[in-house]
Amino acid sequence: MIRFLTFPQSTWQHRQLWWRLTEREVLGKYRGSLLGVAWSFLTPLTMLGVYTFVFSQVFEARWGTLGSDGPLGFAINLFAGLIVFNLFAECINRAPTLVLANPNYVKKVVFPLEVLGTIAVGSAVFQALASLIVLVIFELIAIHHIPITFLFLPLVWAPLVLGCTAITWILAALGVFIRDLSQITAVLVSMLMFLSPIFYPVSALPKLWQPILAANPLAQVIEQTRLVTINGTSPDISYVSGGILFTMIACEIAFRFFQKSKRAFADVI
C-alpha cells in the first residue's frame, strides 16, 4: 500500500515549500486591509447572520434536535454545514485556474506544480478552522458546553480534505486545457449548496428522497460533522475508515493524472 501511494512522499518532500506558500496565501489575501486576518472570522459570521435570519425568521425553519431549538440552535446547525461546504467550495472554485494563474511556475521556474493544489486546500482549511472557533463560541452560548466528541473532527474531516485535494488536482490539470471549466464548476457548486443538507437535516426530507441526498458525499461529511460537534455522538466507523481509504486512492489517481498532464502545460499556456 505504501509503495502504491506516491502522493504522500511528494507532499512530505515539499512540506516546507507548502507551508511557506500557504502562509503567504493566507496573509496575502488580507494584506493591506484594515482588519487583516480578522476577516476570516467576520466574513462567515456575517453570512451566518444573513442565512439564519432568512431561514429561521422569514421562513420560520426549525431544526428540532437536542439542544438546538430556536434561532440560535438553527444557526449552530446551519453554521456547521456551511463550514464544510465553504471548505469544499473554495477548493473547487479555485482549482480550474490554479495553474493558469501561475504561468511563471510553468514556463520559467523548476517548480513542483502539484504543490499548488495542496496550497489551495491548506488555505481553505485555515478558513475552516477560523470558522470553527466561531462555532465553538456559538455552542458555548447556546448549549453551554462543547461535546467531547469534538475531538473526532479530524477523523471526520480527513476524507473531506483528501477528497478536496484529489478533485483540486484533477480540475487544476483539466482547467489548463478546458478554459470554460471554471464557469462550469461555479454553476455546479451553486447547485450543490442547495442539494446538500446545509439548511436542513437529511431527516427533514421525505423518505423517498433521503437515500438520494445521502448519496451525496458532501452530505455524509456534513451530517458526521454535526454528530461530533453538536450532538455529542461518535462518528460512523464505516464512514471514517471507508472514506479515508477511498479518498486516499482517489488522491493517488488524481496525483498521477496531474503529473502526467503537466508535461503538456507549457505548450498550452
Domain boundaries, the chain: 9-263
Examine the pLDDT at 34 and tell me if it is beyond 70. no
Buried b (16+ CB within 10 A) or exposed e, 147-158: bebbebeebbbb
Least confident of 28-32, 41-45, 247-251: 28-32
Q: What integer best gives the mean pLDDT of the chain?
A: 86
State yes or no: pLDDT of 67 exceeds 70: no
State the DSSP code for 202: G
The whole-model pTM stands at 0.87
Task: Point out the least confidently predicted range of 16-25, 134-143, 256-265.
Answer: 134-143
Asked if residue 33 has pLDDT above 70, the reply is no
Higher pLDDT, 5 or 63: 5
269, pLDDT greater than 70? yes
pLDDT, residue 64, reads: 55
- The pLDDT-based confidence of 60 (bands split at 50, 70, 90) is low
In angstroms, the Cα distances linking 190 to 114, 143, 155, 159, 206 are 26, 32, 27, 22, 23
pLDDT at 48: 73
